[in-house]
Amino acid sequence: MAIKTEPFILNMGPQHPSTHGVFRMKVTLDGEVVVDVEPVIGYLHRGIEKLAEGRTYTQNIPFTDRLDYLASMTNNFAYVLAVEKLAGIKVPERVEYLRIIVAEMMRISSHLMAVGFFLNDLGAMMTPMLYMFREREKLLDLFDMVCGQRLTYNYMRIGGVSQDIPDDFLPALKRFVAEMPGFIDEYDQLLAENEILLVRTKGVGVLPKDLAINIAASGPVLRASGVDWDIRRDDTYSIYDRFDFDIPIGNVGDCYDRYWVRMQEMSQSIRILEQAIAQLPEGKVCADVPQLLRPPIGEVYGHIEAPKGELGFYLVSDNSISPYRFHIRPPTLINLTALKDMVIGWKVADLIITFGSMDVCLGEIDR
């Protein structure tokens, strides 16, 4: 005999744990089964886009640190590339390599936290996450050596970077690059055949390939669904075309594939770092750029492959010292639109880990 039930609404949030920002899900449940989900955003809104239109192009760089604050360096990278494209600025050769080095370090750091917090959501209380914090701390030490900061770096400059790397940076980075593959193997031994991880993630929260394409998903979320697309290779920028690396692609688009793609991408970032270190030339670390830049009248869209996906900046210049229009295309806002389709019919516990597998940062959603 079927039990007659009545759907009810459960407000999950607004809350912060493992979410990187305040987020609320208005969930309609039939027992423990998810019938509907309404993501509610906006609690962290700081009006960065409007603020940026009242400041100079250089003054806007620190704003980008506050978007995905687990990948601040790549936010800097995307913004200065867009400004340089708008103003027709060519950067020195050494700068290109330094930017790639810090961007791939940032990708590893971001993925370590994405996987660590995801496993925490699964119920692996702290152990895997603390393992991954251990390696992230080494990266933060390296960022500290470069620019004196450990979270919001403000390192990139229009035409270059704020300063050259210190003498002890490259030896320390080489040690990290040599050690990290062994730590990735350690994570794999800890997790790859873990029965709880496999049962809770295989076939759960599937994002079909067609839907991933239709919603314009990007990054590991898109590639986990079997779409072979990476901006570093397919719409290349900076000097990524000089490096040899593979693009990990999932098969199913479930929570496990999203976890697996991020794990594999860390190994590929190590490959890029090895090549960039070996090829790093001497030279200037900034082009000659006016303190008050006035790009010619025009508009531009510049995008990169950030750790979470396609991060783009749309800029409009009226030949003044501030952008006439400043708009951000954040990857996690677009990826999050798939959440409802991925969780309907699953249980509350599955909703939590599916959301965790998306690797969101509300700083770039509620910008």
> Residue 236 and residue 251: Cα distance in Å, rounded?
24
Per-residue model confidence as pLDDT tens for the chain (367 residues): 567 778 999 999 887 766 778 999 999 999 999 999 999 998 888 899 999 999 999 999 999 999 999 999 999 999 999 999 999 999 999 999 999 999 999 999 999 999 999 998 888 777 888 999 999 999 999 999 999 999 999 999 999 999 999 999 999 999 999 999 999 999 999 898 899 999 999 999 999 999 999 999 999 999 999 999 999 999 999 999 999 999 999 999 999 999 999 999 999 999 999 999 999 999 999 999 998 999 999 999 999 999 999 999 999 999 999 999 999 999 999 999 999 999 999 999 999 999 999 999 999 998 8
Residue 333 neighbours by CB under 8 Å, 6+ apart? 41, 364, 365
Please choose, from the candidates 86, 103, 345, the residue with its C-alpha nearest in 3D space to the C-alpha of residue 232: 103
pLDDT at 303: 97
Number of other CB atoms surrounding residue 69 within 10 Å: 16
Longest dimension (CA), the chain: 78
Distance separating alpha carbons of residues 238 and 161, to the nearest angstrom: 14
| Helices assigned H by DSSP within the chain | 48-52, 61-65, 72-87, 93-122, 127-147, 169-191, 195-201, 209-214, 219-224, 231-234, 255-279, 331-336, 339-343, 348-357, 362-365
Extents of the domains making up the chain: 1-45, 47-357
Tens digit of each residue's pLDDT (9 = 90 or more) over 318-351:
999 999 999 999 999 999 999 999 999 999 999 9
Q: Which fold has domain 47-357?
A: Cytochrome-c3 Hydrogenase; chain B (1.10.645)
Q: Which residues pair with 138 in a beta bridge?
A: none
297-316 CB burial, b ≥16 within 10 A, e <16 = eeebebbbbbbbbbbbbbbb
Question: What tokens appear for 332 in the block?
Answer: 């996690």
Would you state the pLDDT for residue 44? 83
Which residue in the block uniquely carries the two structure tokens 């607004």? 14
pLDDT of residue 3: 73
- pTM for the whole structure: 0.96
Q: Is residue 120 helix, strand or coil?
A: helix
Helix 93-122 with 72-87: angle, nearest 10 deg: 140
